Homo-oligomer: A and B are copies of this chain.
Amino acid sequence: MIGRLNHVGVATPSIEKSVTLYRDVLGATKIHDAFDMPEQGVRVCFVDVPNSQIELIEPLGDDSPVHGFLAKNPAGGQHHVCFEVEDIYAARDEMAAKGAKVIGTGEPRIGAHGTPVIFVHPKDMGGVLVELMERPEDLHE
């Protein structure tokens, strides 16, 4: 089922400082503009590498789900991995059928790339928070 590794989500207390790290220390050359996703309580910024992306995630607002992560990991750290799937509803139903808990209502939400996504609970994913994201049409290979 899982397709491309669309991105690795990296939580950070400051996208601005993380951009400096990825650009000036690690030498990433393509860094997109950051933008707010208020409905998910995050501000995000994508850093391109040739085959994938790093998604920098900063908490937005007092209710951000990222606050808990940063309380445990004040410097930031790896937050989730995101795999592309062909059909988000089929993926959701397959997770449920296999006993893997989809976080929230189970209804896909629109993710940072504009396609529907779900998150699967780390307790059923070997301790890894897994995002499944319907593959954007314009990225079909």
B127 and A24 within 8 A (CB)? no
Q: Which residues of B contact A5 (CB under 8 A)?
A: 5, 8, 49, 51-52, 54
B128 and A77 within 8 A (CB)? yes
Q: Which residues of B contact A3 (CB under 8 A)?
A: 49-50
A28 at the binding interface (Cβ < 8 Å):
yes
29 example contacts (A-B, Cβ-Cβ < 8 A) are as follows A1-B26, A1-B27, A2-B26, A2-B28, A3-B49, A4-B50, A4-B51, A4-B52, A5-B54, A8-B8, A8-B78, A10-B126, A12-B127, A18-B126, A21-B126, A26-B83, A26-B130, A49-B83, A52-B52, A54-B81, A74-B127, A75-B126, A75-B127, A76-B127, A76-B128, A77-B78, A77-B126, A77-B128, A78-B80
Q: Which residues of B contact A123 (CB under 8 A)?
A: 75
Q: A26-B1, A78-B78, A81-B78 are in contact. Are A12 and B126 (CB under 8 A)?
A: yes
Alpha-carbon distance between A3 and B130 when the two chains are bound, in angstroms: 23
